[in-house]
Structure formats: C-alpha cells, structure tokens
Amino acid sequence: MKITISQAPAHNDQTVTMGAWLANKRSSGKIAFLQLRDGTGFIQGVVVKNDVSEETFQLAKNLTQESSVYITGKIVEDTRSPFGYEMQVSDIELIHESIDFPITPKEHGTEFLMDHRHLWLRSKKQHAVMKIRNEIIRATYQFFNENGYVKIDPPILTGSSAEGTTELFHTKYFDEEAYLSQSGQLYMEAAAMAFGKVFSFGPTFRAEKSKTRRHLIEFWMIEPEMAFVDHQESLEIQENYVSFVVQSVLENCKLELQVLERDTEKLEKVKAPFPRISYDDAIDLLKDKGFTDIEWGEDFGAPHETAIAESFDKPVFITNYPAEIKAFYMKPDPNRSDVVLCADLIAPEGYGEIIGGSQRIDDLELMKERYEQHDLTGEAYKWYLELRQYGSVPHSGFGLGLERTVAWISGVDHVRETIPFPRLLNRLYP
C-alpha cells in the first residue's frame, strides 16, 4: 500500500511503500539510517544489513542526498523522534539518482542559499516555515468565513495609487500608464459597500528601496474592509483575528514550531484583548526609554517600534497618528483634527508592524479636500469619490502583511525566508 509520511501514524505495524527523497544519511557496516522526506513530513528509515538483501543494503549505503526512491518497510513507533514513528526498511527502489546536490548538511552563506532557493525550500527549516505560512492562510479563511465575510479579489493592475505615489511599479497597459497594486484597499471599500464585510488575500507590490529584514518588494496582504464599523470596533476585529491565527498555529503546527525551536510560551500569551497606546503616549514612552530626539509628528522607525513593543508581552496597537504622516483616506479624530482614527499593530519581540488600519473618510467634501492636498487628480480617482456620493457610511479596514506575520510566529528573523520565492531589492532570481 502506498502512503505519505504524514499518514504513517495511521499505519503503525503495517508494511507500506512511500515515495520519498533522501534528505540525509548515516551508516555503518551493519546499519543505515535514512532521513526521508516526501513533502508531507520527515521520517527515519532504518536499514539493517541482516534483514534485507545485499543489493538493498548496498543501495541504502550508497544512496546520495536528494535521490528519489520508492521505499518499503514496516512503520513502527519511535519515541525518540519528535514525529514518533520510523520505518524498518525491507526494500528500496531507486527512481532517480541525484548527484552533487549543492546544499549539503554543512553551513552555507545566505546569498548561496538564496541563489538556490528552488532547492533550499526542501530543507526541514524552510519546510516548517512554509507549513506555518499555509496554516496562517487556512486560519485566515476560516476566521473570515465564520464571521460572515465575503472574499473579494481586487485587481493587480490598477490605474491609481492607494498608498502614495513614490513606491509604485509602473507598467504599460497598452497605451495607458498602469501600476502594480500596492494595496487592494480602495477596491475593497467599493466591495464593502456592495457586500458589507469583505476580505481579500493577494500579492501587493512596493517599489521601495528598503533593504531591511522586514521589507519585500512583492508581499502578500490580507485586507478586510467593513461597512458600518468604526475604528474601535475594527481594533476588536483585528485582535480577535490575530489571536485566532496564533492559537491555530499553536494547535496545528506543533511539530513545525518544534523544528524552528520557537519559544511557544510567548505565543500562548497572544490572546485578545491587546493593549492600545496612543501615538502621543508612545512619544512620551520613547523619550523615557532614551529616544530623547524624537519629536511629535515624526514617523516611527524599526528601533522605535521595537522599543515600544518591549513594554508589552502581546502585540500592541499604536493609535491616532498625526494626519500628516498617514495616508490621505484616514478619517480625522472628530475631537482633534491633527490626528487620524488609525492604528498600527506592532508584533512583540522586535518583529515590527504587522497591521496598518484605519477608519476611512466617509464625507465627500473632506475627501475632495484631501485629494487636493495630496495632489491626487485624474479620472482614476473618480470612482473612489463616488463611493462617498451614493449612501456613504462609516467604514473601516486594515491590511495584515502575511510575511511579517509568518516571521513573527515562526520566529525567523528575516522576511526573505517567509515567502517561497522572495523578491528583494537585488533579487529576482530564482
């Protein structure tokens, strides 16, 4: 019977066949330990000289890294391995011999590994990170589906900018100028007026010349948008969503978190509600922490965010930023027009901003004013203003950056390891 490694626990004491690759190997005169992987998991195959044909034992002993095989044997419990099972091998059929696989068990430099990303993805650590990414996506769909949201897909090719014009990827759209989407938000606002509560999940692009451990040129964003929901209500949705995702990973990715040696105690604490601190109070906090130069009106950089996050053991919302340093569509605080009804959610442990969100301006005249202040003109914006013209309602939304969230939950320090094929400032290969 042919099974996958993930199915091994259901076949204890049975003889089965698996298609697999050899990840690693140890052998002596009488026994060979094969570390096997098949994409669904990793398992050890034990080949004992006296129990198999001479041919099979020689094949096992000489098997090269990443060679592919059909391997047959009995599944038995193995309490020493985290997976809990191993295979007592009886037969091996070589499918393809891999010669000189470039990524050996020794240490390699990051650039070398990035150049071999198409092969590096096979490694145990990368496998664990991608499985966690997959679980975050799965939990995201579950959360929004269970809470009455409709998944809506905004376009990737757009005629307008959502998050300022400096970081746009330009492209030709036949005779017109077009951009790759920086955010689906503006379209999601139209969708919220049609479906009430909506969310998107898709790639977004920022032509940002940043070379930090938090920046990708192409990243994936989850963007919910809700009609009749104000800023405070939106924060509650955000904290419930992030808690649900973290608790789902803890529940469903135990093995992966173990492979990554993630301190799960820190993740256990991530349960709603999350603390909130106003931008004003954050400035005072930073001054107390030794950032004596910071002035009201300045945006926070990574060191500021990390310093603020250190004061809390859960993600923290920084709310009500100065209008000047935030996007044109954010609604001013009715009690104070110099700040807007917005929040960034800062992850613990130095992982930085994972969510940016706000209540949106719903007043047509104010939105027109903002357009003029931000020099946003042209036909492309006509439709967005019309959303304020026909039954405008209070509405809010947010965007969660998937890769930063994966980095935080997995405990890997650079976002380049959280997406299968990262697009970085100097990297379009592979």
Q: At what angle do helices 302-309 and 279-288 cross, to 10 degrees?
A: 90
Q: Does 401 bind Mg ion (CB under 5 A)?
A: no
Site mask for ligand 4AD (CB under 6 A), range 353-392, x = bound: xxxxx-----------------------------------
Q: Which two tokens stand for residue 172?
A: 């030709």
Residue 129: is it exposed, middle or buried by C-beta count within 10 angstroms (0-12/13-18/19+)? buried
Shortest distance, CB of residue 30 to ligand 4AD, whole angstroms? 52
Q: Does 215 bind ligand 4AD (CB under 6 A)?
A: yes
Q: Which residue is nearest to ligand 4AD (CB)?
A: 401
Segment near ligand 4AD (CB under 6 A); pick from 169-177, 219-227, 290-298, 302-310 = 219-227
Q: Does 395 bind ligand 4AD (CB under 6 A)?
A: no
Site mask for ligand 4AD (CB under 6 A), range 143-172, x = bound: -------------------xx---------
User: In sequence order, which residues have a C-beta less than 8 Å from that of residue 142 and are 6 or more positions away?
Assistant: 244, 248
Shortest distance, CB of residue 260 to ligand 4AD, whole angstroms? 20
Exposure class string for 43-74: b at 16+ Cβ within 10 A, else e = bbbbbebeebeeebbebbbebebbbbbebbbb
- Cα dihedral 388, 204, 129, 64, rounded to 10, equals 160
Separation CA 156–CA 175 (nearest Å): 18
The footprint of Mg ion on this chain (CB under 5 A) covers a number of residues equal to 1
Q: Does 256 bind ligand 4AD (CB under 6 A)?
A: no
Beta strands per DSSP E along 136-187: 150-151, 157-158, 170-173, 176-180
Query: Of Mg ion, ligand 4AD, none, which one sits near residue 370, judging by CB under 5 to 8 A according to partner kind?
Result: none
Q: What is the CA radius of gyration of the chain?
A: 26
Shortest distance, CB of residue 265 to ligand 4AD, whole angstroms? 24
Q: Which two tokens stand for residue 404?
A: 């930063």
Site mask for ligand 4AD (CB under 6 A), range 171-200, x = bound: ------------x-x---------------
- Cα dihedral 113, 118, 121, 123, rounded to 10, equals -60
Nearer to ligand 4AD, 127 or 215 (CB): 215
Q: Which two tokens stand for residue 176?
A: 């017109």
Q: At CA 82, angle to CA 78 and CA 88, rounded to 5?
A: 30
Residue 368: is it exposed, middle or buried by C-beta count within 10 angstroms (0-12/13-18/19+)? middle
Q: Does 398 bind ligand 4AD (CB under 6 A)?
A: yes
By CB under 6 A, the residues from 18 to 57 that bind ligand 4AD are: none
Query: Of ligand 4AD, Mg ion, none, which one sits near residue 114, judging by CB under 5 to 8 A according to partner kind?
Result: none
Q: Does 208 bind ligand 4AD (CB under 6 A)?
A: yes
Nearer to Mg ion, 118 or 209 (CB): 209
The footprint of ligand 4AD on this chain (CB under 6 A) covers a number of residues equal to 23
CB 230 within 8 A of CB 187: no
Q: Does 315 bind ligand 4AD (CB under 6 A)?
A: no
Shortest distance, CB of residue 5 to ligand 4AD, whole angstroms? 32
Segment near ligand 4AD (CB under 6 A); pick from 54-62, 269-277, 307-315, 350-358 = 350-358
Report the half-sphere exposure of 252 (CA within 13 A, side-chain side): 15
Q: Is 212 helix (H, G, I), strand (E, B) or coil?
A: coil
DSSP bridge partners of 73: 16, 89
Helices (H) and strands (E) in the chain, counts: 13, 18
User: In sequence order, which residues have a C-beta less than 8 Å from that of residue 107 and are 6 or more positions away?
Assistant: none
Q: Does 356 bind Mg ion (CB under 5 A)?
A: yes
Shortest distance, CB of residue 341 to Mg ion, whole angstroms? 15
Nearer to Mg ion, 56 or 204 (CB): 204
Shortest distance, CB of residue 353 to Mg ion, whole angstroms? 6
Query: Of ligand 4AD, Mg ion, none, which one sits near residue 305, judging by CB under 5 to 8 A according to partner kind?
Result: none
Amino acid at 38: D
Shortest distance, CB of residue 234 to ligand 4AD, whole angstroms? 9
Shortest distance, CB of residue 397 to ligand 4AD, whole angstroms? 5
Q: Does 219 bind ligand 4AD (CB under 6 A)?
A: yes
Q: Does 407 bind ligand 4AD (CB under 6 A)?
A: no
* Binding stretches for ligand 4AD (CB under 6 A): 162-163, 183, 185, 206, 208, 215-216, 219, 221, 223, 353-357, 397-399, 401, 403-404, 415
Residues near Mg ion (CB under 5 A) are 356
